[in-house]
């Protein structure tokens, strides 16, 4: 856990100034609070002692304290306000960095999609786990720094007068300070259980809602609700367990502070007149310290939650990259002829080979039609051409350069792929299109929409290019969404385009019209057209059929 | 308490009030325990005051007082633990009840609720969790912030009336300071939640399309857009907190004023021998005890705002009318579907999806709906699935108006295969059995065979027990679709609704699946939305749609 948290702090180092400023404000505010109670105590004790033999010094101290009372009284609220403001500001900045870092890491690691990791779980990771990290700073580091400052101040102030009393007072306080660290591993397990339960609940909610039509069609409402209720109950049990542990930690912490307070009183009773001044100060210090240390038991739970959150974040962020970029990338090729030779590939060691010695040649400007039944590996070939997966054997070259030696970003600037499930994002049509060409003018967007035969549909919408697509393009019919995705691909500057069932979901007339105009739409680019079958209007330069892991010339 | 102006917030307040009332019995325990802790604190302060006075030579206390103080310390620790447990229990019930209600409403709304799944899940998970602080901490803390200081100020007044008044006055200042900073914070709290909601919805959306982003080299740009969204969240949240924290500063000022007033009262004004040394020390020592429940109240105040923001988002959902209607006594073996001049409009700013559609399908018949995408094929199926109620005209099954039936009952009549089947996380077998959980293995296997699922499943290491992920990881589009067809076989319902089920299948598979689907349709009532090419695979009459109307004559065909 320590290593994970150290790594979190390292990721936050860019916000070091904010974080440090927050800690300083917290220490000042806490010390001011302690000083306030001690000063008030001195004033009253001085008054009470007045007229008592040997208490002249105390009375004098009381008068001095009275003078200090007002500035400290005014300083404390300002320091406290600044502390809360600066610490929260620092946390939010650090957490924003963390979100971006995590997203970027995942983008490099899970390019082929969410796969077996559940989307619900990933959402839990980013939102909840990243947020649990704010506890590391706000509820662990800041209170710990304040409490430490109090313990040190107490030890120094009392230690100057009487080292023995300083030990009686400061040792239990120090123990209360360290208690959360000692309890953290146990609390961490409970914290992990809560985080797991929350992820489970979120998945139980997201899975049926993602497939809402299928859920309802199967009359599965009651089953889905029962699962949500069960996961909710599991979460409640985990939270109860965590709270119980936190309560134990809290009780132990407050008892240690009481030991310091009552121990000091006992010491003063035994010491009598000689230790009166030091004893009095000690008692008020102990009472004041209780407040600063009172936050520490919660720190244990927060530390545990942050540790658990950090573990899960790093677990996801540290999965190996499926295809790491080359350390010393080759020079970017000038041509874009694509050649595949002797390709061997399988998705996992225990799955059958998808390709076994596949050869394929795509000269510049050529248009290959790649046919075959579903599941034969047409889309897998596209994934390999774009380095979403690495071949087990064989070579793929672009313009004569092995793509294994090219950075993925350079490759994807030259080769693009309209996937079967190309998603539209919950944003405007324009924003969706500009993903492919961030600087494109509106005119270029309209041209692409027209070439994808969807320009008239968009023109008929009241908000036109600014129409929101809804999640996964839900606001459009399947065919319309497909054509919008196609328009996005057409905007890409890539010179090689892989079209994976570009006309799926289009009605027959539109499909035919679209495939007829494909040549114009593509300009001089090389095209790999993946289709179940040819309509006879595509005019490819070559037709290949995938079978038994190889590409075989076919007649159509 | 903050007064929140907007009308939507009235629903939030009503919701929280209703839930608080039903949790009343559970809330009494933590409040009583909190009062017990306060009473122990008062007693301990008195003992310590006596001990301090003894040190100063003004009282006679000894080891017995010290031992009593220690016993009180133990008692307080025990009470605090019990209180913590009681608080958690108070929130649990309310959360479970509200979560179930919110989720049921989302299911009932179905595809009609077009919000992103991430947004919906945030309602059921985060928003409900945000309510916990309201029941577990805010309500007990609010009660204790009134009762405990009164108890303590009363104890102080018994020792010294002026000190009691000082504490009471300080206590009254606290809620005033809270209210002043809280009025603006309530509105800002809602904005913060909206930002959080958008952030989580956006993330799930972008995660799902991560391959697209990576393909287009947009992952870095999207990361910085995500950073900008996070930055917006920070700005919004800090706006809430800048106000909320004023109350923290105000609180400390009030504590300081109370301490200083007591110090002046007992230190400055008294000349000569103090008349009541134990009382003076006692009232001073009561200050931390007095402010402890008020501090807990201030700490919980932000939770109350958060809960109120969450409740405002939940209230419209929970207030939504649950679709009601008649229940089916049994599923009839044969159904006749009649549409009479049916009209449906999704969005008033767009043309109607259905603009006067009429047809009748008899048992054993198959009706093919053809037409361009957006011509209304899917809308007809949505009405029959109970996802939508028609805006006009009449839809009847066996002569009975379907709008009288509860939508879920309507779905008991039909098997459905859509354009893009959702594959749930689980095994292939689970995914097929989903359509009829009580089905036995033989029935599942028969359905898998009929839909050609066994053909590809037998090549997988675990066969039908192969785990498939959310979104259908490991299954191609065609394979996922075949699983959906298997579901329809297993369901064995009298009405078959197919929404372009072979769009993603290659001709080879399509032919086989069409054959299977034809067998599925035999003896049942079937309505199939399909493209002209695929329509040749079915035997049935064709209804050609165009812009929500029938285009041309109905014709017999095959």
pLDDT tens digits, residue range A218-239? 888 899 999 999 999 999 999 9
- Identify the pLDDT of residue B39: 96
Assigned CATH topology for domain B337-550: Rossmann fold (3.40.50)
Stretch 146-205 of chain A: residues touching chain B, C-beta under 8 Å: 198, 201-203, 205
Interface touch B226/A114, C-beta < 8 Å: no
pLDDT the model gives residue A146: 92
Cβ contact A18:A93 at 8 Å: yes
Which residues lie across from B11 on neighbouring strands?
Answer: none
Distance (Å, whole) CA B52 – CA A22: 37
A465: how many CB neighbours lie within 10 A of its CB?
A: 18
Side by side, the strands of the sheet bearing A367-371 are A415-418, A496-500, A526-531, A367-371, A542-547, A550-553
* Interface with A, mutate which of B132, B470, B492, B512 (most A CBs under 10 A): B470
Pairing of strands B337-344, B354-361: antiparallel
pLDDT at residue A114, rounded to an integer: 38
Q: Among A102, A130, A85, which residue's Cα sits nearest to residue A305?
A: A130
- Taking Cα atoms as reference points, which of A251, A270, A252 lies closest to residue A168? A270
Question: CA of B67 to nearest chain A CA: how many angstroms apart?
Answer: 9
Which pLDDT value is given to residue B558? 37
pLDDT computed for residue B355 by the predictor: 86
| Helical H segments across B209-276, by residue range | 210-215, 219-263
d(CA A219, nearest CA chain B) in Å: 6
Q: What is the pLDDT of residue B140?
A: 92
* Beta strand pairing call for A496-500 and A415-418: parallel
Q: Which residues of A touch B207 (CB under 8 A)?
A: 106, 114, 119, 122-123
A69 touches chain B (CB under 8 A): yes
Greatest mean pLDDT among A184-188, A288-292, A517-521, B45-49 lies in: B45-49
CA pair distance A130, A94, nearest whole angstrom: 10
Nearest to A243 among B73, B84, B251 (CB): B84
- Domain limits of chain B? 16-319, 337-550
Does the distance separating the beta carbons of A461 and B117 come in below 8 Å? no
Judged against a pLDDT cut of 70, whether residue A122 lies above it is answered with no
Is the pLDDT assigned to residue A79 strictly greater than 70?
yes
Q: Which pLDDT does position B195 carry in this prediction?
A: 65
For B378, list phi and psi in degrees, rounded to 5. Answer: -65, -35
Q: A350 and chain B: CB distance < 8 Å anywhere? A: yes
Q: Give CA angle at A171 (A168, A176), nearest 5°.
A: 130
ipTM of the complex: 0.82
A386: chain B residues, CB-CB within 8 Å: 215
- Is A353 a residue whose pLDDT tops 50? yes
What integer pLDDT is reported at residue A25 of this predicted model?
94
Within chain B, which residues score under 70 in pLDDT? 1-8, 181-198, 200, 268-273, 302, 349, 469-474, 477, 504-507, 532-538, 552-558
Among A42-46, A84-88, A155-159, B248-252, whose mean pLDDT is lowest? A42-46
Domains of chain A: 2-317 (1.20.1560.10), 338-553 (3.40.50.300)
Contacts of B253 (CB under 8 A, 6+ apart): A73, A74, A76, A77
Higher pLDDT: B114 or A269? It is: A269
CA distance B14 to chain A (A): 24
For residues B56 and A277, give the distance between their C-alpha atoms in angstroms, rounded to a whole number: 10
Which of the 8 DSSP states describes residue A126?
I
Interface list for A 357-376 with B (CB within 8 A): 372-375
Query: In whole angstroms, what is the distance from residue A312 CA to residue A324 CA?
Result: 22
The confidence score (pLDDT) of residue B37 equals 95
Predicted local confidence at residue A226, as pLDDT: 94
Cβ pairs A/B, distance under 8 A:
498
DSSP code per residue over A337-349: -EEEEEEEE-SST
Of A74, A123, A506, the CB nearest to B118: A123
Q: Taking each helix axis from N to C terminus, what angle separates A56-109 and A2-11, rounded to the nearest 10 degrees? A: 80
Other Cβ atoms closer than 10 A to B64: 9
The Cα B104–Cα B96 span in angstroms is 12
The per-residue pLDDT for B251 is: 83
- For residue B417, what are the β-bridge partners? B498
| Residues with Cβ within 8 Å of residue A372, at least 6 apart in sequence | A378, A532, A545, A546, A547, B506
Do the Cβ atoms of A85 and B245 come within 8 Å?
Answer: yes
How far apart are alpha carbons A400 and A333 in whole angstroms? Answer: 7
Residue A153 has pLDDT above 80, yes or no: yes
The per-residue pLDDT for B553 is 44
Q: Has residue A128 got a pLDDT over 70?
A: no
Exposure class string for B315-345: b at 16+ Cβ within 10 A, else e: bebbeeeeeeeeeeeeeeeebbbbbeebebb
pLDDT at B73: 94
Tell me what pLDDT residue B556 has. 37
CB atoms within 10 A of CB A333: 18
Facing residue for B204 by CB, picked from A85, A88, A119 = A119
Using a CB-CB cut-off of 8 Å, the residues of chain A touching B252 are 33, 76-77, 80
Q: pLDDT-derived band of residue A438, with 50, 70 and 90 as boundaries?
A: confident
pLDDT tier, A125 (very low <50, low <70, confident <90, very high otherwise): low
Per-residue pLDDT band for A413 (boundaries 50, 70, 90) equals confident
Q: What is the mean pLDDT of residues A193-212?
A: 87
Rounded-to-10 torsion of CA B269, B274, B279, B283: 30
Q: CB B57 to CB A438 under 8 A?
A: no
Q: What is the distance between the alpha carbons of residues B308 and B286, in angstroms, rounded to a whole number?
A: 33
Q: How far is B301 from chain A (nearest CA, A)?
A: 15
Instruction: Write the residue in A72, A84, A209 that is nearest to B245 by C-beta.
Output: A84
Rounded Cα gap, residues B112 and B120, in angstroms: 13
For strands A496-500 and A526-531, give the pairing: parallel
| Residue A115 to residue B469, Cβ atoms within 8 A | yes
> What's the Cα-to-Cα distance from B287 to each of A108, A196, A279, rounded to whole Å?
57, 42, 20
Neighbours of A442 (CB within 10 A): 11
Here the tokens at position B336 are 């006749």
pLDDT score at B166: 92
Confidence of residue A57 (pLDDT cuts 50, 70, 90): low
Q: Are the C-beta atoms of residues A51 and B287 closer than 8 Å to each other? A: no
- Locate the chain A residue with the closest alpha carbon to B79: A251
Residues of chain B with C-beta less than 8 angstroms from the C-beta of A106: 207, 210
DSSP output for A426-457: SSBHHHHHHTT-TT--HHHHHHHHHHTT-HHH
| Cβ-defined contact of A478 to B373 (cutoff 8 Å) | yes
Q: Could you tell me which chain B residue has the CA closest to the CA of A492?
A: B216
Contact B263 A66 (CB under 8 A): yes
* Cβ-based contacts of B114 with chain A (< 8 Å): 470-471, 474-475
Angstroms from B290 CA to nearest CA on chain A: 13
| CA nearest to B498 within chain A | A217
- Smallest CA–CA distance from B230 into chain A, residue: A96
**What are the angstrom distances between the C-alpha of A135 and each of A84, A192, A306, A307?**
13, 14, 6, 10
Q: Is A320 on the interface with B (CB under 8 A)?
A: no
DSSP code for B555: B
Distance of CA B470 to the CA centre of its chain: 20
Q: What's the CA gap between A199 and A318, in Å, rounded? A: 19
Cross-chain Cβ contact A50/B274 below 8 Å: yes
Q: B323 contacts in A (CB within 8 Å)?
A: none
Please report residues of B whose CB lies closer than 8 A to that of A43: 263-264, 266-268
Which of A:398-417 have CB within 8 Å of B? 408-409, 412-413, 416-417
Tell me the three state secondary structure of residue B504.
Answer: coil
CATH architecture group of domain B16-319: Up-down Bundle (1.20)
pLDDT in tens, A449-506: 888 888 888 888 888 888 888 776 777 776 778 888 888 888 888 889 888 887 766 6
Contact criterion met (CB below 8 Å) for A152 and A177: no
Q: Is B322 helix (H, G, I), strand (E, B) or coil?
A: coil
Query: Residue A90 and residue A97: Cα distance in Å, rounded?
Result: 11
* pLDDT confidence of residue B1: 32
Taking residues A310-330, report their average pLDDT: 80
């Amino acid at each position: 856990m320590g290593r994970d948290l150290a790594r979190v702090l390292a990721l936050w180092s860019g916000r070091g100034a904010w974080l440090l400023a927050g800690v300083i404000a917290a220490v000042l505010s806490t010390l001011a609070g302690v000083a306030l109670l001690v000063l008030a105590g001195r004033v009253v004790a001085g008054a009470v002692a007045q007229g008592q033999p040997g208490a002249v010094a105390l009375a004098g101290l009381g008068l001095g304290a009275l003078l200090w009372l007002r500035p400290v009284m005014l300083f404390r609220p300002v320091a406290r306000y600044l502390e809360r403001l600066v610490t929260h500001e620092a946390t939010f900045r650090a957490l924003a960095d963390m979100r971006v870092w995590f997203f970027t890491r995942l983008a490099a690691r899970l390019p082929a999609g969410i796969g077996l990791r559940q989307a619900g779980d990933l959402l839990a990771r980013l939102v909840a786990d990243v947020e649990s990290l704010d506890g590391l700073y706000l509820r662990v580091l800041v209170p710990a720094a304040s409490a430490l400052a109090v313990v040190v101040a107490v030890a120094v102030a009392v230690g100057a007068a009487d080292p023995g009393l300083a030990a009686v007072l400061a040792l239990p306080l120090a123990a209360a300070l360290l208690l959360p660290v000692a309890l953290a591993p146990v609390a961490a397990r409970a914290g992990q259980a809560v985080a797991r339960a929350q992820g489970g609940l979120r998945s139980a909610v997201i899975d049926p809602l993602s497939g809402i039509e299928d859920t309802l069609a199967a009359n599965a409402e009651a089953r889905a609700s029962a699962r949500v209720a069960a996961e909710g109950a599991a979460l409640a049990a985990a939270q109860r367990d965590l709270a119980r542990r936190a309560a134990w930690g809290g009780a132990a912490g407050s008892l240690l502070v009481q030991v310091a307070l009552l121990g000091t009183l006992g010491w003063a009773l035994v010491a009598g007149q000689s230790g009166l001044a030091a004893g009095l100060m000690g008692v008020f210090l102990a009472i004041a310290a209780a407040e600063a240390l009172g936050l520490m038991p919660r720190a244990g739970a927060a530390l545990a939650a942050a540790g658990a959150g950090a573990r899960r974040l790093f677990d996801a962020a540290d999965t190996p990259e499926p295809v790491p970029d080359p350390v010393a990338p080759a020079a970017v090729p000038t041509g874009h002829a694509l050649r595949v030779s002797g390709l061997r590939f399988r998705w996992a060691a225990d799955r059958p080979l998808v390709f076994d010695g596949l050869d394929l040649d795509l000269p510049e400007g050529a248009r290959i039609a790649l046919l075959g039944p579903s599941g034969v590996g047409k889309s897998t070939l596209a994934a390999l051409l774009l380095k979403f997966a690495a071949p087990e054997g064989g070579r793929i070259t672009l313009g004569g350069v092995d793509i294994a030696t090219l950075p993925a970003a350079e490759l994807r600037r030259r080769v693009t792929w309209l996937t079967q499930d190309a998603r539209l994002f919950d944003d405007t049509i324009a924003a969706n299109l500009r993903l492919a060409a961030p600087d494109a003018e509106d005119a270029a967007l309209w041209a692409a929409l027209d070439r994808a035969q969807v320009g008239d549909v968009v023109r008929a919408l009241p908000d036109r290019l600014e129409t929101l697509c809804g999640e996964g393009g839900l606001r459009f019919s399947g065919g319309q969404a497909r054509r919008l995705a196609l328009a996005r691909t057409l905007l890409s500057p890539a010179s090689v385009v892989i079209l994976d069932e570009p006309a799926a979901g289009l009605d027959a007339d539109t499909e035919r019209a679209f495939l007829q105009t494909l040549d114009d739409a593509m300009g001089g680019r090389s095209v790999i057209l993946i289709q179940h079958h040819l309509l006879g209007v595509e005019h490819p330069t070559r037709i290949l059929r995938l079978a038994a892991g190889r590409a075989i010339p076919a007649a159509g | 308490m903050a007064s929140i102006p907007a009308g939507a917030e009235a629903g939030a307040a009503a919701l929280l009030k209703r839930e608080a009332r039903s949790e009343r019995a559970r809330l009494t325990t933590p409040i009583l325990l909190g009062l017990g802790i306060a009473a122990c604190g008062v007693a301990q302060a008195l003992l310590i005051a006596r001990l301090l006075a003894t040190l100063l030579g003004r009282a006679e206390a000894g080891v017995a007082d010290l031992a009593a103080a220690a016993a009180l310390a133990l008692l307080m620790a025990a009470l605090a633990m019990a209180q913590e447990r009681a608080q958690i229990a108070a929130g649990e019930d309310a959360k479970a009840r509200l979560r179930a209600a919110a989720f049921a409403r989302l299911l009932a709304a179905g595809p009609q609720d077009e919000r992103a799944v991430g947004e919906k899940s945030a309602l059921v998970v985060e928003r409900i969790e945000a309510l916990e602080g309201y029941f577990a901490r805010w309500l007990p803390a609010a009660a204790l912030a009134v009762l405990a200081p009164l108890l303590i100020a009363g104890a102080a007044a018994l020792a010294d009336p002026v000190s009691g008044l000082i504490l009471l006055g300080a206590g009254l200042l606290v809620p005033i300071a809270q209210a002043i900073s809280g009025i603006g914070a309530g509105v800002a709290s809602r904005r913060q939640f909206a930002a959080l909601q958008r952030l989580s919805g956006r993330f799930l959306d972008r995660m799902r399309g991560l391959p697209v982003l990576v393909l287009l080299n947009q992952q870095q740009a999207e990361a910085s857009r995500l950073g900008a969204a996070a930055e917006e969240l920070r700005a919004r949240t800090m706006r809430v907190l800048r106000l909320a924290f004023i109350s923290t500063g105000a609180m400390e000022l009030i504590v300081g004023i109370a301490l200083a007033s007591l110090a002046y009262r007992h230190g400055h004004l008294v000349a000569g021998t103090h008349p009541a040394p134990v009382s003076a020390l006692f009232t001073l020592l009561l200050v931390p005890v007095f402010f402890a429940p008020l501090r807990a109240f201030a700490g919980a105040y932000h939770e109350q705002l958060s809960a109120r923001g969450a409740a405002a988002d939940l209230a419209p959902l929970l207030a939504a009318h649950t679709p009601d209607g008649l229940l089916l006594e049994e599923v009839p073996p044969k159904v006749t579907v009649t549409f009479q001049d049916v009209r449906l409009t999704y969005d008033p700013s767009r043309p109607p999806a259905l603009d006067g559609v009429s047809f009748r399908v008899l048992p054993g018949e198959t009706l093919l709906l053809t037409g361009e995408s957006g011509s209304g094929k899917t809308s007809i199926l949505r009405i029959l699935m109970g996802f939508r109620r028609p805006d006009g005209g009449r839809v009847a099954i066996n002569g009975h108006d379907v709008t009288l039936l509860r939508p879920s009952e309507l779905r008991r009549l039909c098997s459905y295969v859509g354009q893009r089947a959702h594959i749930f996380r689980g095994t292939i077998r689970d995914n097929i059995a989903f359509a009829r959980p009580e089905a036995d293995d033989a029935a599942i296997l028969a359905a898998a065979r009929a839909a050609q699922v066994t053909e590809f499943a037998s090549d997988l290491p675990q066969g039908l027990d192969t785990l498939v992920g959310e979104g259908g990881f490991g299954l191609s589009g065609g394979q996922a679709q075949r699983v959906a067809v298997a579901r329809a076989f297993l369901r064995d319902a009298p009405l078959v609704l197919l929404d372009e089920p072979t769009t993603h299948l290659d001709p080879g598979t399509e032919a086989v699946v069409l054959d299977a689907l034809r067998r599925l349709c035999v003896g049942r009532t079937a309505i199939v939305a399909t493209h002209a090419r695929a329509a040749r695979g079915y035997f049935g009459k064709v209804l050609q749609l165009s812009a929500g109307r029938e285009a041309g004559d109905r014709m017999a065909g095959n």
